[in-house]
Amino acid sequence: MEHESKDIEHGKDNDATVDAQDEDLKNLQNEHEQRNVGTLDRRLKSRHVQFLALSGAIGTGLFVGSGQALSLAGPLSTFLAYLITGFNLYAVINSLGEMATYLPLPGAVPVFAARFVDPALGFTLGWNYWYQFAIGVPIEISASAVVISYWPNSVPNAAWITILFIPMVVVNLFPVRIYGEAEFIFGTVKLTTIVGLILLMFIITLGGAPNHDRIGFRYWDDPGPMLEYLKEGSLGRFLAFWKVFIQATFSYGGSEMVVVAAGEAENPRRNIPKAVRRVFWRIAIFYVLAIFLVSMCVSAEDPRLLNAISSSAPGAAASPFVIAITNGGIPALPSIINAVILSSAWSAGNAFFYASTRVLYATALDHRAPAFLRYEKFGVPYACVGATTLLSLLVYLNVSENSAEVFFWISNLSAVSTLIVWASVCITYLRFYYGLKHNGISRSTLPYKSPLQPFLAYFAVCFCTIVAFFNGFDAFFPGRFSAKTFIPPYIDIPIFAALFLGYKFVKRTKIVKLSEMDLWSGKAEIDRLEGTWPEVRPRNFLEKIWFWIA
């Protein structure tokens, strides 16, 4: 009996040990599952996500920056550069979209890089991407203040900066739904405006303006479809064409922000693919078609355009769309377009503010940023909002001429950052692609399977790398080399390399093996939530149209 009693007690001890081990394993699995998930709220509705995709692709780069590209390279070169860069963006967003719908985590980009490539790349992308977005906030606020000067006023520049800056911070202090509503409103304004401008440019080129001048392809014939830059002949035309790629990249920059929002979107496996699939048509219609039509309406050597660029004229004065309207003899519209440009610049700054906080939050969740940055309340990462706010105060450097020079150098540190990030995204996707194959996971089982892979990703890596390395080619022409022509195009590359190699050396990180890729953390959480979002079907024709849009 004594032996039986001891055996029973021993059995109970073993059971208790097994239970404790099971509990520890369960806790470890839960901790593993919660990695990178965070506690942000999924309050961005489908319409918010769709219009966020739209808002990120239409801004001052299209309304104003396209004029500078047109005057430099001519209509055909500008059209082709925007078309090719648009295809590159399509490749990037499709690559990122496939990963983000499989694992819709906050911030997404640095997390994927750390899991699928190397923790050092996750660290580097996290901080580089945060700076790229965060410095965009003071840049866009400064641009907004300049746009306001289109209308004569005596209000100090510092006052306008403050008036624009405070509401932006306030919007980002509220739950994400408020940000979504703000971008939905601005997206509606921009969508309506660009559709109206496309129709108006078409009417003007056919002679429907008050001056009844039927333009057609007159300006493609004289001064010609492709202008020269630095050299004469074919080489000069190629150099002009190549120079426009950077302007086009800046114009498209930020379009991938819709995927950054995947971690706060309702039903991301439905709404994110829906937004990604429409990127092609939004690029084709709102950018490429708009550039094509405005290049027919405005000459690359139009005196108004050249004077506006040379004098750094504010807002609508440098917009080729406004110049086409003015040349056509249509009154009142320039001020309306300037108001839209103002709202676009503020909206872009607001979107940069939001994206920067989420990227920094994701980096902190991944333990590659200070722990205090993980602090959030009511679904808002307030510590990250504070960090972006502090950096955004650099906008006040533009108040005086001396400090404006400092701001120029600080803001240009991110000049090529967009291309570096896009290339890194596609390298990360390629590792994800081969990781799935190695682990026997068919891409046909994914919530979204991007087309033409892995060729799209390879194209984007090659395109971004080549443009990034040769974007400052004009600095090496005789008599043109200076700090201002050489440093802005290239400073990002050594900074990125130093961050990557520094972290790799200190932490002794290694490239993640295909067999060791973490393809699972965070997936079960979204799998569980997926069934809680009801599928809403349109009840009539009008609802079908609305569901298609949003």
pLDDT (tens digit per residue) in 255-297: 777 777 777 777 777 778 887 877 777 777 788 898 999 999 9
Q: Please name the amino acid found at residue 229.
A: Y
Rounded to whole angstroms, the Cα distance separating 236 from 226 reads: 9
For 214, phi then psi, to 5°, come to: -85, 105
- Rounded to an integer, the average pLDDT of 355-361 is 88
Length of the chain: 550
Give the pLDDT band of residue 191 (cuts 50, 70, 90).
Answer: confident
Minimum mean pLDDT among 146-155, 332-341, 342-351, 532-541: which range? 532-541
DSSP 146-187: HHHTTS-----HHHHHHHHHHHHHHHHHS-HHHHHHHHHHHH
Find all residues with CB under 8 Å of 275, minimum gap 6, and list them: 49, 50, 52, 53, 97, 258
End-to-end CA distance of the chain: 75
Looking at the domain that runs over 40-545, which CATH code has it been given?
Answer: 1.20.1740.10
With tokens 């078609």, the residue in question is 289
- Say if CB 348 and CB 187 are below 8 A apart: no
Between residues 312 and 437, the one the model is more confident about: 437
pLDDT digit string, tens, across residues 514-549: 888 888 877 777 767 666 566 667 677 676 666 666
Mean pLDDT of 36-65: 70
The β-bridge partners of 44 are 265
Sign of CA dihedral 507, 511, 513, 516: positive
pLDDT band at 51 (very low <50, low <70, confident <90, very high): confident
Taking residues 475-504, report their average pLDDT: 86
- State pTM to two decimals: 0.85
Residues 370-396 have pLDDT tens digits of 888 888 888 888 999 999 999 888 888
Cis peptide before 454 (omega within 30 of 0): yes
The pLDDT value recorded for residue 20 is 47
Among residues 331, 341, 411, the alpha carbon closest in space to that of 131 is found at: 411
CB 119 within 8 A of CB 509: yes
CA angle 245, 501, 253 (to 5 degrees): 25
- The rounded mean pLDDT for the chain is 81
Weakest mean pLDDT among 25-34, 321-330, 462-471: 25-34
- Band of residue 504 on the pLDDT scale cut at 50, 70, 90: very high
Sign of torsion over alpha carbons 170, 174, 179, 181: negative
User: 213: which DSSP letter?
Assistant: -
User: Looking at residues 94-104, what average pLDDT do you find?
Assistant: 88
Q: Which amino acid is it at 9? A: E
What does the pLDDT read at residue 525? 72
Residue 246 — pLDDT band, cuts 50, 70, 90? Answer: confident
Residue 17: per-residue pLDDT: 47
Q: How far apart are alpha carbons 362 and 358 in whole angstroms? A: 6
Question: What is the pLDDT averaged over residues 90-99?
Answer: 91
Measure the CA–CA gap between 475 and 471, rounded to whole angstroms.
9
Model confidence at 407: pLDDT above 70: no
Mark out the alpha helices in 283-379 (DSSP H runs): 290-297, 303-310, 320-327, 333-365
Percentage of the chain modeled with pLDDT above 90: 19
pLDDT of residue 28: 41
Distance of CA 399 to the CA centre of its chain: 28
**Which range (105-119, 247-261, 495-509) has the least confidence?**
247-261
